[in-house]
């Protein structure tokens, strides 16, 4: 039986992951796919229990599993630890690197029911349907970093190999080919050498995809265009840090960061998690929106298990619940029916 390593982690991770598991189990009851879900400690919770954010047993389980479902890691309790030991660095970056998860996929689709929950006007966002592919194991976050003395200074090295650029760009072309056939590569080629290199490699890969319309955009302009006219985008591809920033920005187009799912892939092997963090401000209060995690479960069925029908069933159940006017606090407007985390999970199950 295929295995899913379940890593709830910290803060709201403990509340949202169980809802996603319930939904996955429900959608699979009528299917031939059986998944074995097994839970492992990660993040601050693992530091408290085992002394480190990514225990060897957890890492081994993730390496062995067919897919990983992650909640979130980190919180104020562990913020004073030295950077390499912190949950975000040790667990999240550690897992991405160890599993070779070089491609982070974040779909941003405006669900009609949420057009008024968006940070932008309905007219601007109502037809938003885009996907951001973020390179996840290279660039500044993984480059050499350090301090210097006299005068005191710090540095982070930005480096990309040809192979690293090529594989993410290729996946972006493949993704665009199956959608509206438009790819926008985001860089800062007017000032960064890594970006000029990124463009060269992208142009080379493009030769194999004549049916896809390729454009290039500077990242500062891309940030502006995403809030000015998100409809213009189909697939965006970009390096690690630019993608981190642009996807948080893009999450607000679709109503709340609590709606944004993500898949981090290395072929069929994938780690699935909401794009948001552990939200310590609302943790333990049954207030968190579980939909980003539930939708991440749908991505798991799609990318790791090729179960498109079941993935869509989850996505449709989520739309149905929102169409019926149910909201968690992060999405609520006066007059909405406000649900807690568990009750939102119940509503999605009922809609399934």
| Contact status: 279 vs ligand ATP (CB under 6 A) | yes
Residue number with CB closer to ligand ATP (187 or 330): 330
Active-site residue flag, 244: yes
CA–CA distance, 18 with 344 (Å, rounded to integer): 12
User: Nearest to residue 315, comparing CAs of 341, 348, 274, 276?
Assistant: 348
280 labelled binding-site residue = yes
83 labelled binding-site residue = yes
106 labelled binding-site residue = yes
| Contact status: 13 vs ligand ATP (CB under 6 A) | no
| CB-based contact 232:128 (threshold 8 Å) | no
Query: Closest distance between ligand ATP and the C-beta of residue 317, in Å?
Result: 18
Site for ligand ATP (CB under 6 A): which residue of 9, 94, 258, 345? Answer: 258
Range 176-215, binding ligand ATP (CB under 6 A): none
Residue number with CB closer to ligand ATP (143 or 340): 340
Contacts by residues 22-31 (CB-CB < 8 Å, ≥ 24 positions apart) = 22/345, 22/349, 23/294, 23/297, 23/314, 23/317, 23/345, 23/348, 23/349, 23/352, 24/297, 24/300, 24/301, 24/314, 26/349, 26/352, 27/301, 27/310, 27/313, 27/314, 27/352, 28/310, 31/307, 31/310
283 labelled binding-site residue = yes
Range 89-148, binding ligand ATP (CB under 6 A): none
231 to 45, 163, 186, 315, 339: CA distances (angstroms): 40, 31, 16, 21, 30
In the block, tokens 């601050």 appear at 44
List of residues 6+ apart from 172 with CB closer than 8 A = 133, 183, 185, 235, 236, 237
- Catalytic pick among 188, 234, 303, 326: 188
Active-site residue flag, 336: no
**Alpha helices per DSSP H over 185-307:** 193-206, 219-228, 240-251, 291-303
| Contact status: 281 vs ligand ATP (CB under 6 A) | yes
Query: Closest distance between ligand ATP and the C-beta of residue 258, in Å?
Result: 3
Site for ligand ATP (CB under 6 A): which residue of 278, 300, 305, 317? Answer: 278
Query: Closest distance between ligand ATP and the C-beta of residue 124, in Å?
Result: 22
| Contact status: 273 vs ligand ATP (CB under 6 A) | no
| Contact status: 86 vs ligand ATP (CB under 6 A) | no
Residue number with CB closer to ligand ATP (114 or 288): 288
Binding-site entries: 75-88, 96, 106, 134, 220, 244, 248, 277-289
Report the catalytic residues: 141, 188, 220, 244, 248
Binding-site entries for Mg(2+): 220, 244, 248
Residues contributing to the site for ligand ATP (CB under 6 A): 12, 72, 74, 257-258, 276-279, 281-282, 288-289, 292, 330
């Amino acid at each position: 039986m295929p295995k899913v390593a379940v890593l709830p982690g910290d803060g709201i991770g403990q509340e949202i992951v169980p809802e996603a598991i319930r939904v996955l189990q429900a959608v699979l009851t009528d299917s031939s796919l059986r998944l074995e879900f097994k839970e492992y400690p990660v993040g601050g919770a693992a530091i408290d229990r085992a002394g480190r954010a990514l225990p060897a047993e957890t890492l081994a389980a993730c390496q062995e599993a067919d897919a990983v479902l992650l909640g979130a890691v980190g919180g104020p309790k562990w913020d004073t630890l030295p950077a390499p030991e912190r949950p975000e660095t040790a667990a999240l970056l550690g897992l991405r690197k160890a599993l070779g998860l070089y491609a982070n996929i974040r779909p941003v689709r405006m669900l009609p029911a949420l057009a008024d929950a968006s940070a932008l006007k309905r007219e601007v966002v109502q037809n938003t349907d885009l996907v951001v592919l973020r390179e996840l194991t290279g660039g500044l976050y993984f480059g050499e970093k350090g301090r210097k003395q006299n005068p005191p200074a710090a540095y982070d090295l930005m480096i990309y190999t040809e192979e690293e650029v090529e594989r993410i760009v290729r996946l972006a072309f493949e993704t665009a080919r199956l959608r509206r056939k438009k790819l926008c590569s985001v860089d800062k080629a007017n000032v960064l050498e890594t970006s000029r290199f990124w463009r060269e490699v992208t142009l080379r890969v493009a030769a194999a995809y004549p049916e896809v319309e390729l454009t290039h955009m500077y990242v500062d302009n891309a940030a502006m265009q995403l809030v000015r006219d998100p409809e213009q985008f189909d697939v965006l591809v970009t390096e690690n840090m630019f993608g981190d920033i642009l996807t948080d920005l893009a999450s607000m187009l679709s109503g709340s960061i609590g709606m944004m799912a993500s898949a981090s892939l290395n072929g069929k092997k994938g780690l699935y998690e909401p794009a948001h963090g552990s939200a310590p401000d609302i943790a333990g209060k049954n207030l968190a929106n579980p939909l980003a995690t539930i939708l991440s479960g749908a991505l798991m069925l799609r990318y790791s298990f090729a179960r498109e029908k079941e993935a869509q069933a989850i996505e449709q159940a989520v739309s149905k619940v929102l169409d019926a006017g149910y909201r968690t606090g992060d999405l609520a407007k006066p007059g909405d029916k406000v649900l807690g985390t568990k009750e939102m999970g119940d509503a999605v199950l009922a809609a399934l």
